[in-house]
Amino acid sequence: MVAPIKMESPLGARMFIGGREVDYYCGTSYFCLHGHPEVIEAACDATRQYGMGPGTLAHMQVYADLQERLRDWFGTEEVVYMISGYTSPMVLLQGLRDDFDVILIDSATHYSTRDAIPTLGKPIHEFRHADPEDLAAQLSLHVKAGERPAVLTDGVFPSSGKLAPLADYRQAMAAYEGALLCIDDSHGVGVLGETGRGSLQHAGLEGEGNFLAGTMSKAFGALGGVVPGDAALAEKIARNAMIMRGASPAPPGLAAAAAASLRVLQTTPEKRANLTRNIKHVRSGLRTLGFEVADTPVPIVTVKGVTDLEQLRDRLAERDIIVRVQPAGGYSDAPDVPTLRLAVFSEHSPAQIDRLLQSMAELL
C-alpha cells in the first residue's frame, strides 16, 4: 500500500507535500478555491461571529446569503443545501420518491447514490456502464405499463472522467411518461456547462424531469451538498428527506466559505477560461504522446497502457510532480486495469503542464 501523502499547505496546483514544493495533479480542487484567501477569510469571519455550529432550528444570515448565491448560480427558484455532498443524492431521491416506481441505475454509479437506494423501497435494476442501448433494453424488460422509471447515474464519473451520455439516456426514456433522470453531478457542477451549472446544462437537458445533486467540496472549495430545483421540489424534500430534519447543516464558517467561493468564480470568469485551456492542453499533449484520450471538457484525465504506472508515478515524484495511480477496480467506476488519474486545475500554468508532458515523454 502506498503511504498517504503528507500535505502541508492548502490544495493547489503548486503546494507543499512532505517538506517539498511540488506540482500537484491529484484531487478535485479544480479552481484551487480550498486555499483561496477570500474563501479562507470568509470562513474565519463567520466562525468568529457565529461559532462552530448552528444549533437547533437556527436562523443565521450566513445561510440566507449562501442561498441567494446558490439560486443565482444555478438559476433556480430554490437550492436545498445540506451537510454533505455525499448525502445530496439521498436527499434528492427521497424527495422524489413518490414520483417514480422503479429504478434503473448505471452499473458504475457512485456509492453515494447506491447508499440512498435502500431508503427508497423501490425495485432496482442495473444497466451496463454508459450504455444507452442497454438502458433501453432494461427499461423494456422491467418497466410495466403505467410505471414511472427513475434513471440514476453520475454526470461525470470520478475515476475515469467519463461523461454520461445523458442525451442518449433521455432518448431511451422517451416512451415512458413521467420518467425521471437523476444524476450525481459532484464533478460536473462548477466546471461543465456554459455558466458552470453542470452536466445537465452541458447536455442541454435542464428542465422538467431532469435533476441533479451536487457538492460544494470539489470545484467550489468548501463543504455541503446542493439540490437545485423549484419550490415544489424543495417542499417534497422538506416533507420526505429525513436528513433535512435530523441533521445539522454545515457549520456557519463553511457556509460562508461556499458563498465566497461562488462570488470568486462569478467575479473572475478567467478561472473557468483557464481551466478550459488547461484541459485542452493536457488532453492534446497526452494524445501527442500516443495515448487514447477523449476530447471532453472534464478536468479528470486517465491514462492506461503503461506497463509500470507505479514506477512512472515514483519517477515523476522525484521531479516534484505528484500524480495518482488507481488500482484496477479501486473505486466506484475505476477501469479494470490500473490507470494514471490526472486532475487538471485552473491554476496550473502552461509551463507546469509542459513540464508534466515533457517528463512523461522522457520517462516512458
pLDDT in tens, 204-261: 999 989 999 999 999 999 999 999 999 999 999 999 999 888 888 889 999 999 999 9
Say what the pTM is. Answer: 0.94
pLDDT of residue 305: 81
pLDDT of residue 1: 44
Which parts of the chain have pLDDT scores under 50? Answer: 1
d(CA 88, CA 10): 25
φ/ψ bin of 231: left (φ > 0), alpha (ψ from -120 to 50), beta (otherwise): alpha
d(CA 355, CA 352): 5
pLDDT of residue 56: 65
d(CA 156, CA 179): 21
Q: Where would I find the H helices in 214-334?
A: 231-240, 243-246, 252-267, 270-288, 309-318
Question: What is the DSSP-derived secondary structure letter of residue 337?
Answer: S
Q: CA dist 327 to 241, 251, 309, 334, 339, Å?
A: 35, 35, 10, 8, 7
d(CA 337, CA 334): 8
pLDDT of residue 306: 79
pLDDT of residue 4: 67
C-alpha cell at 212: 441533479
Pick the closest to residue 210 from 244, 245, 164 (CA basis).
Answer: 164
pLDDT of residue 103: 98
